[in-house]
Structure 1
Amino acid sequence: MGILNTTPDSFSDGGRYLALDDALRRAEQMMLDGVDIIDIGGESTRPGAPPVPLGEELERVIPLVEKLKGAHVPLSIDTYKPEVMRAALAAGADMINDIWGFRMPGAIEAVRDSDCGLCVMHMLGEPQTMQVGEPDYVDVVREVREFLAQRCADLEAAGVEKARIIVDPGFGFGKSAIGHNYALLAHLPETAPEVPSGVAPYPVLAGMSRKSMLGALVNRPAPERVAASVAAAVCAAERGAAVIRVHDVAPTVDALKVWAAMREAMAGGARTSRG
């Protein structure tokens, strides 16, 4: 999943793709690089980011969806506003990626009767305050799983088919840079809601690209965290992530091809000999 921020203030690439033509060129490049899904966001959700007025978010997102809907790449919309959800789906979007986990009044109703995919994310607090102080959990993996299970249950009770839902533990959204985030990565499969035996698990989305959890380790600014982001993406794939949300599509695709080839060789028992 390639990130396309049409915002002036996103933490890593704010302002680069605010103009429609620039955003379209970025989408074209991501498609050349091998992206599977493009995730369009019209409001920054970095820690401390102020809310964006509804009309402004619609102006940033909807024209881009209308231009890209025939590009044969699924379009995801990163929003928590029901009005944006409805407008984006009407314009041709295929998925809604909601950091609030469809908790806003009217959010479930906005997506219930469509056939779009839904990404349900965990967040402790809200973007303006989620990293103020030290986020507190007794057991972060269990608490994230329980939250996601409740949100999925609420969606399904409203008539949303389970097959439409993927879950996101919300790396960096109300988590300590090292302790909480890396516990979630290490136990990524356990963040998904439990399902009965024989029932397909909920797919998990991992979004760590250029985030502070990486900066805390490598001590580099966000634009220089590409290598760390690619390493995190491979770790997420190894831990079972079905979708990996990234800024840097080409190097991530290359790294995952190597990882997938290794996995295939392991599964096939391939061996080579020297000499």
Structure 2
Amino acid sequence: MKLKRMGVINITPNSFSDGGEFFTSDSISQRLNFLKKFDVIDIGAESTAPMNASIAWESEWERWQMILPFLKDLTIPISADTYHPETIFKLLKHWQDEKFKSRLIWNDVSGKFDASVLEFLKSKNDYIFCHNLAPSRELSGRHMDYLAAEINLTDYFKPHLHPQVIFDPCLGFSKTYQQNWDIISDFERLQSEFTATRWMIGFSRKSFLKNKFAVEDREELDRLHADEVAKIIKTARGEVWIRTHRPELIA
């Protein structure tokens, strides 16, 4: 099994996990210097927590201006966590115009494998396809309003097999507490339904993790998350990316 650790930085004022922590040049620089020793850096400029209002892509793009100057010379792949096609294509153009050294990945929580995704794949960059039942990109952040009694991830992902596509069950999105844990327990079987497919798993600091252990302390929660991830990767196969706020805890 090939493990890749994806470290997170949110340049937002209101992300549930680290909002406001990386909203200055110094804090951004320090965080990037720490994360560049791992495998991938995931950058988000809009919180998709259900309690937060969505923002226009123009506002999201404005937030990206804080971090772009620090990214040009990095060689580690950069994942852009956005459901706005306008933002990803602005980033793609910026990467090309400024001759950035890193690969750009689109981490798209919308669950919409649409024309914008097909256009992005022409760039030969990787795309992370997430399970989200919200009916439109604009409603991506309202995902908890759209639940299903049963979730069949095999049927959901199978039509979108592609060498550049990474599948993400998107834990915490459009899922009940029990459905999240069922997916984690069933991950080995889910992987067995596919061959030569890459996966991403991300539930660092998610509420269903916090609720299971009745833990509020962030340090303890991060350690418990690492313990749960260790159980997953023990039986995982192929290439698995772990998206986490504390990549140093994932072995």
- TM-score, with length taken from structure 2: 0.83
Shift of 1:201: 2.6
Show the counterpart of 2:92: 89
Counterparts of 1:114 and 1:243, CA distance in 2: 21
Mind listing any 5+ residue stretches in structure 2 that lack a counterpart?
A: 1-5, 96-102
Conserved 8 A contact 2:109-2:140: no
Change in CA separation of 1:128 and 1:64 when aligned onto 2, cut-off 3 Å: closer
Counterparts of 1:65 and 1:136, CA distance in 2: 38
Show the counterpart of 2:187: 188
Shift of 1:246: 0.2
Instruction: Give the residue type in structure 2 aligned to 1:119.
Output: I
- Which is strand-richer, 1 or 2? 2
Q: Which has the higher contact order (CA 8 A, sep 6+)?
A: 2
Say whether 1:217 aligns with 2:212.
Answer: yes
Q: What's the CA shift string for 1:184-230, capped at 9, x where partnerless?
A: 111114445945xxxx4311100010111211111123734111111
Number of aligned residue pairs: 232
For the aligned residue pairs, the C-alpha RMSD in angstroms reads: 2.2
SS of match in other structure, 1:131: helix
Counterparts of 2:207 and 2:217, CA distance in 1: 8
Counterparts of 2:196 and 2:118, CA distance in 1: 24
Show the counterpart of 1:202: 197
Say whether 1:236 aligns with 2:232.
Answer: yes
Conserved 8 A contact 2:121-2:164: no
- TM-score, with length taken from structure 1: 0.76
Instruction: Give the residue type in structure 1 aligned to 2:230.
Output: V
Counterparts of 1:53 and 1:109, CA distance in 2: 22
Change in CA separation of 1:88 and 1:209 when aligned onto 2, cut-off 3 Å: same
Of 155, 164, 174, 1:146 maps to 155
Counterparts of 1:52 and 1:222, CA distance in 2: 29
Instruction: Give the residue type in structure 1 aligned to 2:143.
Output: M
Instruction: Give the residue type in structure 2 aligned to 1:137.
Output: A
Show the counterpart of 1:170: 170
Moved over 6 A (4+): none
Q: What's the CA shift string for 1:226-269, capped at 9, x where partnerless?
A: 111111221232242610000012222xxx1xxxxxxxxxxxxx
**Aligned ranges for residues 65-80 of structure 1 at < 5 Å?**
65-80=68-83
Shift of 1:9: 0.8
Identity of aligned residues (%): 25
Change in CA separation of 1:89 and 1:231 when aligned onto 2, cut-off 3 Å: same
Say whether 1:131 aligns with 2:144.
Answer: yes
Show the counterpart of 1:28: 33
Q: What's the CA shift string for 1:155-181, capped at 9, x where partnerless?
A: xxxxxxx2211100010101112x111
